[in-house]
Structure 1
């Protein structure tokens, strides 16, 4: 079974009927140390085609293999070559496109079917230490208590100038339904989700950060936040009609914010760190002067720590404080839950002016028979958090989540993530690209 599941164009050299693929393709290295860096993209692509041709030829040989020892040798060589393609393409800055689709279940939308792709590349293949840039795009169809819904999700992580210039973006659009409990811990705990809390809406969110590294090792730059949320007037539940914040902001659907981000980052790979630390501060000001319907401020303080005590054995720690002040609309208040925060807790069930979270995760990558890391892994995590109207009340009413997950390395250091999360009030099954943090 191919490790690679994306589509490739294969240029197959004709093989003689008696050719032994183990001999014909013995020149192809499988250790990254032995792999050359080609001076042109065309030469790098030719080597990729050679790897694919070798895998295809060995696959044919396996089909006609009779002796167990010979078959085992063929299988091992094929597996080595399949992993070697990743190392070759990463070393040579080649672009890779992967496709993924499948079912999932989340507490927010119910059952869903997602299909999309991940495109990774190097913005300058001559810079050997430059992190790979990536763009993911998912189309999602959902079937929940409110009927059919749909959405689009995309993430962009771009690296330039020896990693000294970075851009990150996240886009979500949906026409769907969600449960709305109101503001505060007590309202989130007051009742379970039902038709009495279900509210259909159209929403669009886009977050973007552009940062530049200074002489002191810090990244600094501008940040943009865009949030549009329009509830369907015909499907507003009682939990919303009786909520003061909802009534104040239901006709003010657009929030636009500009601000700054300052962070210190020593992670080895941004999208899937094994070692390093990340300390991030963001300040965003939303105001009518730039077209926003609402005037308020938000601050995010985010600290992450990663330690690998053995190859493929990583402990990851996530801490985040969200703070807001002013006329903050219900649809942009700090929240907990979803696929990136306290997984298994309904995203938005608990929202207020302030939120805090602490999560610890253990990430384990399984080994192949030759002792190298495989493409398969698993995780376990546990986290706590709380929301409050003011920061002095944080930690008074604690929430928690825990879960397990499966990881598949679709591209070098870029995983497909399947998580099963649980909390006291909800549970969820999440399918997406990249790690939660």
Structure 2
């Protein structure tokens, strides 16, 4: 089963950039459909090439984002599946090749999630806790490979359970010769030795409750995801350690009488905790390193890191045009990590901003998202295909 919320057939045809393109280059064609209906097996592509600035201090970069949305079963009983490939590179020796997938099999009987990445950094870090000064900024250079895969079975409508495998491999972790070593900066022992490799290999237990039918642009509904991870030396982990990740989201339709136009309040919070002392430094909870790297708009990635992290965000989403081509969002978020000495959440860091939405593909409901976020002493622009959450 899928969410009962469906866009109605209404008097104002919905429009996207594909329609705009056709109207410009085929103005006399009478056979071009203005409304495309979803079909099983058909793939709906969205593509965004751009030059911008990495949101985490990485400098100027070139990025392309390609999202493929498709239905692996009848669209009335099967959620929209998606595969996203977002390669990027800059001219300072940094690049990434992330490939993410969310596959819903026919009638949502099975859900397969994947996240594979090859990344070459440098990236900045500030140490542990929520009160580290800007002067602590230190560049860390390393290579990173991630391989996450999970398979979940539907237990009852909207509720899934399953297992997975998570692998994080951080290689050749170094800091500049004139900067303190990572262990000196953070006062943390594990995964901070100069030139060290850190290999984490673990099995996961996954519980999922999801009433959305489109993760690219969620309609009103609920989402809850619990991931318990156990890393063991028996499957190659450098050190045994455990973690828990709880992600909660709720989407509220503010104008149910007019479902044609977006008018939604989206709420998101997640709690991420390392349950052992042996977690490598670069695997500790850190802002911007959530499951999809979408948290902390207006905050520099890695700015706050600790053994536990709590994040919350609210976003208002609204259509500008009745045909759905343009929209806007307003958002505010808050980040806190526990202090290394007291283990308490002491410092709370707010951020906020707004953004423009341009409908790229109305069949998969994929938007081009252009967001400006800011916090104390920092601001950035983010470009994405699909919503932040």
- Shorter chain as denominator, the TM-score bin is 0.7 to 0.9
Distance in 2 (CA, whole Å) between partners of 1:57 and 1:104 is 28
Change (3 A) 1:377 1:392: farther
Does the 8 Å contact 1:240/1:247 carry over to 2?
A: no
Alignment partner, residue 79 of structure 2: 131
Alignment partner, residue 285 of structure 2: 334
Distance in 2 (CA, whole Å) between partners of 1:275 and 1:321 is 22
Match among 84, 87, 105 for residue 160 of structure 1: 105
Task: Give deviations 1:85-107, integer Å, cap 9, x for gaps.
Answer: xx32x246522233320012213
Match among 126, 135, 142 for residue 191 of structure 1: 135
| Structure (1 or 2) with the greater helix fraction | 1
TM-score (norm 1): 0.74
**Aligned: 1:304 with 2:249:** yes
Distance in 2 (CA, whole Å) between partners of 1:201 and 1:436 is 27
**Aligned: 1:358 with 2:345:** no
SS in 2 for 1:264: strand
What is the Cα-based RMSD across aligned positions, in Å?
3.0
Does the 8 Å contact 2:82/2:216 carry over to 1?
A: no
SS in 1 for 2:325: strand
Match among 207, 212, 216 for residue 267 of structure 1: 212
Task: Give deviations 1:158-180, integer Å, cap 9, x for gaps.
Answer: 11121231112223322121112
Match among 402, 415, 419 for residue 367 of structure 2: 415
SS in 1 for 2:121: strand
Alignment partner, residue 114 of structure 1: 63
Alignment partner, residue 349 of structure 1: 303
Match among 307, 325, 337 for residue 387 of structure 1: 337
SS in 1 for 2:77: coil
Distance in 2 (CA, whole Å) between partners of 1:83 and 1:109 is 41
**Aligned: 1:377 with 2:327:** yes
Structure 1 gap segments, 5+ residues each: 1-30, 35-50, 62-76
Distance in 2 (CA, whole Å) between partners of 1:390 and 1:244 is 9
Change (3 A) 1:415 1:210: farther
Change (3 A) 1:390 1:356: farther
**Aligned: 1:179 with 2:105:** no
Specify the structure having the higher radius of gyration (Cα): 1
Alignment partner, residue 356 of structure 2: 406
Change (3 A) 1:101 1:246: farther
Task: Give deviations 1:368-406, integer Å, cap 9, x for gaps.
Answer: 4xxxx3232221100112001479854411011111122
Larger RCO, structures 1/2 (Cα 8 Å, 6+ apart): 2
Structure 2 gap segments, 5+ residues each: 1-7, 12-18, 256-260
